[in-house]
Amino acid sequence: MSVDLSKLNQYLASRSYIEGYAPSQADVHVFGALPSAPDPSFVNVTRWYKHIASYAPEHTSLPGSSKAGETFISSAVAPASAEEDDEIDLFGEDEDEDAEAERVKAERVAAYNAKKANKPKTIAKSVVTLEVKPWDDETDMEALEKSVRSIEKDGLVWGSSKLVAIGYGRPRMLLLVH
């Protein structure tokens, strides 16, 4: 059994224990799989190793299961023999079909891109109604309209405007912006 130190180091970068927020049997299991203290270049594993080593007298009484630690421990399993590869795999992938599917997919994508390239680009346009209310009834609405129309930006086109009464003789100005 060997421990994948790089995987364990990455996992412990944001955690203090293998499982949960306290030492458990998962920590003891991985700790026991390490033959000695890890290389100091694995900073997180070294920190964790020293911490779990401090619980040595309590290793047998720690709660939890050792199952969570199995993801970091790999046993040296011999590769499958050639006889096992000859079995029929009903759900396996056929490389010939994959190549054909990829070719068909590439043709469809190319046809879609060619069709899309021939279409003219649509320009998104908006019409905004700008409502300007005066501060009081003595405001010169014509001067206010000239002031508002003096604003110039790329793509900004001022449309028509009209004065609408809001009450008590006070008008509001509605401007269309294209």
The CATH number of residue 159's host domain is 3.30.70.60
Domain hosting 23: range is: 2-74
How far is 79 from 92, CA to CA, in rounded Å? 19
- Where does the pLDDT of residue 89 fall: very low under 50, low under 70, confident under 90, or very high at 90 and above? low
What's the pLDDT score for residue 76? 52
Q: Of 74, 93, 108, which residue sits at a domain end?
A: 74
Evaluate whether residue 147 is within a structural domain: yes
- Using alpha carbons only, how large is the chain's radius of gyration in Å? 36
Token output for 117: 């390239």
47 has pLDDT over 90: yes
Residue 77 has pLDDT above 50, yes or no: no
Q: How confident is the model at residue 113 (pLDDT cuts 50, 70, 90)?
A: confident
Domain membership of residue 83 (yes or no) is no
In the chain, how many domains are there? 2
Contacts for 86 with CB less than 8 Å, ≥ 6 apart:
none
pLDDT class of 53 with cuts at 50, 70, 90: very high
Stretch 113-133: mean pLDDT: 82
Give pLDDT, residue 35: 83
Of residues 72 and 17, more confidently modeled: 17
Q: Could you give phi then psi for residue 170, rounded to 5 degrees?
A: -95, 125
Does residue 87 lie within any of the structural domains?
no
